[in-house]
Amino acid sequence: MELAQIGADVYACLQPDTGLGASNSGFVNRGGGLVVDTMWDLPRTRNMITLYSTVAREPSRRLVNTHHNGDHCWGNQLFAETGTEIIGHRLCAEYFLRESSPEFFVALCEAEDVGAPFDGFARSLRAFDFHDIVLTPPTTLIDTDTVVDLDGLEAHLLYVGPAHTPGDVVVHLPTEGIVFTGDILFHHCTPIGWEGTFANWIAALERIEALEPAVVVPGHGPLANTEGLRALREYLQYVYADARDSFETGRSTLEAGKHVELGPYAQWTEPERLAFQIDRAYREFEGVAWDTKVDTGRVFGEVAELRDYYEARA
């Protein structure tokens, strides 16, 4: 984990992209401070807070959650303990308690034999410590774009969901040319997500591109710019078109995943997570509502099969 200064009083806390859950955070050291996202567990969140304390004397006054996935908000309780205002979209708060609990993840990590299809998922989880987490959703809720004044520096909270998740918010600092995207952008790593729609996710990337930011802090992966936004947009468009061909041809979702020629995208980390996008596309083609509960066990099984398929071809 490292702290990178990316603007005047603006910082990014970056984790090496080791795969699932290695998320990024941001900090604006103005107007009492504004943090963008926490980490998946308390030890990593404490490390993040320690890094921010090297440039700020007091705990941050505000925290923004870009969405409800645990790897961006399960460290919230450490901020609530110091009286930090936690801001998020109304749908972020609504979905906050719908995912698997920290207790379930602890049990999964400590199980001797998880078995298929969750064995690979459990191995990834063991890099984290899910003990003692108290889920702490946002309490200051927004419904539309909102501007926060940080002692003369404006932070624009832009609602772009449902894209990756229902309550996606990105944080734009216009005068600095910086955007914190949450998981609207996965940079050099394969996107994962089973909520929202392709059209909305692509539109969200286009909206951020139009801002012409000089620096983009992705939810996962290294710092980016508009080229990174364009690369993910083109990936989603490519996968969607290929999946439609497979759907109309009658291929199963697993066959559709194997049909996609990844080309340069094969170099992105965890390319097998393509299975989530194929599943999302098929549900759209079948007219299934985007917020219908997904059979994650089946999709994780296809993730594992695609991983084996790619390794066999390597």
pLDDT at 74 over 90: yes
Q: Does CATH place domain 2-313 in 3.60.15.10?
A: yes
Tell me what pLDDT residue 188 has: 96
> Does pTM top 0.75 for this prediction?
yes
Cα 134 → chain centroid: 20
Digit-coded pLDDT (tens) for 25-34: 999 999 999 9
Query: How many Cα atoms sit within 13 Å of 7 on the Cβ side?
Result: 23
**Cis preceding linkage at 271, omega within 30:** no
How would you class 270 by CB atoms within 10 Å of its CB: exposed for 0-12, middle for 13-18, buried for 19 or more? buried
Closest CA to 219 of 110, 69, 113: 69
Q: What percent of the chain has pLDDT over 70?
A: 100
Tokens read off for 168: 């996606």
Distances (CA, A) of 216 to 17, 219, 233: 16, 10, 14
**Domain boundaries, given as residue ranges, for the chain:** 2-313
Digit-coded pLDDT (tens) for 179-210: 999 999 999 999 998 899 999 999 999 999 99
